[in-house]
Amino acid sequence: MRLRTRAGLGAVTTGLATVLLASTASAAPAPGAPGAGDPYYPYAGNGGYDVAHYDIRLTYQPATDQLAGTTTILATTTQELTSFDLDFGLQVSSIRVNNAPAAFRVTRPGELEVTPVRPLAKHQPITVVVTYADTPSKVVIDGYTAWKKTPDGALAVDEPQNAQWWYPSDDHPTDKATYDVSVEVPDDVAALSTGTLVRKTKQRAGWTRWNWRSTQPQNTYATTLEVGKFEVNQSATPDGKPFTTAYDPSAGESLAAAKASVERTPEIVGFLASQFGPYPFEAEGGVVSTGLTFALEAQTRPVYSTKFFVSGANTSVVAHENAHQWFGDSVSLGRWSDIWLNEGFASYAEYLWSEHQGEGTAAELAQYAYDSHPADAPFWQVLPGDPGVAAQFDDAVYDRGAMAVQALRTAVGDEAFFAILRGWVAQHRGGDARISDFVALAEQVSGKPLRQLFQTWLFTAGKPATGPNGTVTL
């Protein structure tokens, strides 16, 4: 589902290949573009259709890493189509489009071209059923495998690409959808995904099927799967939402610290809602696993590496991932180069939480981060507003990104600052937006010219000058 017009037509050169990113409006039916038009990832997403819902129904055997099943996609065409692409890396056995078998071929790793028997008309609902089976840990796309095998299960948790290793999709934040994720696993492991656990079912001895539902528009990468011997706890938040947490028992000594952090999620989400406006989703929670080295803002239920809790409780990371529920999950990126809209604000939320806890104000934390990087450090050479693929998750996107947010707050004052944040999440809720949209809103709400401030903090290499005579004050 798209709540906003896509980026315009254009072509991007990546290495040797020039990729046509969107087809022009023409009378003749044409193939859908193999990408959504994102300069960082030309093959991410696809052209010609818009997904409303994914129904993912799988069986997973941890002992062999065998994943098999069917994904049914409900979409609407946005042009007359002779063929269209799906982003997917696993071995497909059949595809049906509107109930008729369709031809398909792999055009490059992770890119599947589907040709229905007849061209598809414009603005028509389509149903695409993809049947597949594979060993995801063996699937390499662009030199990378996002699927993480663990001793007793696996994790489909990654960013920017994660879906290709477990379900076919239009893999770009500009096409969010609702989800039903149903995964059958051996009785001795749990299968966690996003949203609400609708029910657990059994139809054969030794296996249990876990049925999860996400009812709000959700990014492909924010849809995750975690299989393993988790300790699963289900309760409710004070305001009555399902609260589900899951802990990897192999966290060992860190397990208690993980619980002392993640169990506080409803309190932290309540604080963030007091800053940003109402929490956008139907459930809360968290999953802690030894099977990854980072944390990810899975919608409704972030996933955390146990490494965040090795030296004790860490509510900072809980504040960060839950701030992404507003900044990233509800308001999504128009392009991957806009990553500051996710990481700058989630990092700034850590400062706000610190201030709320009496552990240092946001201004103090921003100043400390600023002072801790000497002017000649490579840190200042990364542009948070356009870091490039290699530096997309560089510290500068997070830390200089949070300084940029503090610089805005200093420039416009608290009243305008929080009005901008709340206006932003209200205006773009369930959709996607770009940095230029944020700058325009900030200027509009504050009534101040801010282009130079954002230019300095997000788009100019080098350490910005601060202080009474500097151009920018933190």
Residues in contact with ligand ARG by the rule CB under 6 A:
158-159, 294-297, 343, 346, 393
Name the residue nearer to Zn ion (CB basis): 87 or 159: 159
Name the residue nearer to ligand ARG (CB basis): 170 or 350: 350
- Pick what 159 binds: Zn ion, ligand ARG, none; C-beta below 5 to 8 Å, kind-dependent: ligand ARG
Core vs surface per residue 378-409: b (16+ CB within 10 A) or e: ebbebbbbbbeeebbebbbbbbbbbbbbbbbb
Question: In sequence order, what are the residues at sequence separation of 6 or more whose Cβ sits closer than 8 angstroms to the Cβ of residue 134?
Answer: 66, 67, 68, 90, 91
CB of 302 to ligand ARG, least distance (A): 8
CB of 397 to Zn ion, least distance (A): 9
- Pick what 38 binds: Zn ion, ligand ARG, none; C-beta below 5 to 8 Å, kind-dependent: none
Name the residue nearer to Zn ion (CB basis): 39 or 328: 328
- Phi, psi torsion values for 103, nearest 5 degrees: -80, 150
- Pick what 379 binds: Zn ion, ligand ARG, none; C-beta below 5 to 8 Å, kind-dependent: none
Question: In sequence order, what are the residues at sequence separation of 6 or more whose Cβ sits closer than 8 angstroms to the Cβ of residue 245?
Answer: 232, 233, 259, 262, 263, 265, 285, 286, 287, 288
Written as six digits, the tokens of 255 are 């397990």
- Pick what 226 binds: ligand ARG, Zn ion, none; C-beta below 5 to 8 Å, kind-dependent: none
Determine the residue with CB nearest ligand ARG: 294
Question: In sequence order, what are the residues at sequence separation of 6 or more whose Cβ sits closer than 8 angstroms to the Cβ of residue 287?
Answer: 192, 226, 230, 245, 246, 247, 298, 301, 302, 303, 304
Closest CA to 298 of 334, 262, 267: 262
346 scored as a contact of Zn ion (CB under 5 A): yes
Closest CA to 262 of 193, 320, 318, 319: 318
- Pick what 296 binds: ligand ARG, Zn ion, none; C-beta below 5 to 8 Å, kind-dependent: ligand ARG
Question: In sequence order, what are the residues at sequence separation of 6 or more whose Cβ sits closer than 8 angstroms to the Cβ of residue 123?
Answer: 76, 77, 78
CB of 66 to ligand ARG, least distance (A): 25
Q: What does the DSSP assignment read for 11-40? A: EEEETTEEEE-SPPP-SS-EEPPSS-S-SS
CB of 431 to ligand ARG, least distance (A): 19
- Pick what 399 binds: Zn ion, ligand ARG, none; C-beta below 5 to 8 Å, kind-dependent: none
Size of the site for Zn ion (CB under 5 A): 2
Q: What does the DSSP assignment read for 328-365? A: TTTBEESSGGGTHHHHHHHHHHHHHHHHHHTS--HHHH
CB of 399 to ligand ARG, least distance (A): 12
CB of 322 to ligand ARG, least distance (A): 11
- Residue recorded with tokens 């230019």: 455
Name the residue nearer to Zn ion (CB basis): 134 or 343: 343
CB of 384 to ligand ARG, least distance (A): 13
Name the residue nearer to Zn ion (CB basis): 213 or 335: 335
Name the residue nearer to ligand ARG (CB basis): 174 or 347: 347
CB of 36 to Zn ion, least distance (A): 22
- Pick what 393 binds: Zn ion, ligand ARG, none; C-beta below 5 to 8 Å, kind-dependent: ligand ARG
Displacement of CA 398 from its chain's centroid (Å): 15
CB of 294 to ligand ARG, least distance (A): 4
- Residue recorded with tokens 């305001």: 239
Closest CA to 184 of 227, 216, 222: 227
157 scored as a contact of Zn ion (CB under 5 A): no
- Residue recorded with tokens 């052209």: 47
Angle between helix 315-326 and 255-262 (nearest 10): 40
Name the residue nearer to ligand ARG (CB basis): 323 or 441: 323
Name the residue nearer to ligand ARG (CB basis): 147 or 210: 147
What SS3 state is found at 305? strand
CB of 263 to ligand ARG, least distance (A): 20
Name the residue nearer to ligand ARG (CB basis): 35 or 344: 344
Query: Can you tell me the distance from the alpha carbon of 275 to that of 242, in angstroms, rounded to the nearest whole number?
Result: 22
Q: Which of residues 324-343 bind Zn ion (CB under 5 A)?
A: 343
- Pick what 158 binds: Zn ion, ligand ARG, none; C-beta below 5 to 8 Å, kind-dependent: ligand ARG
The contact set with Zn ion (CB under 5 A) reads 343, 346
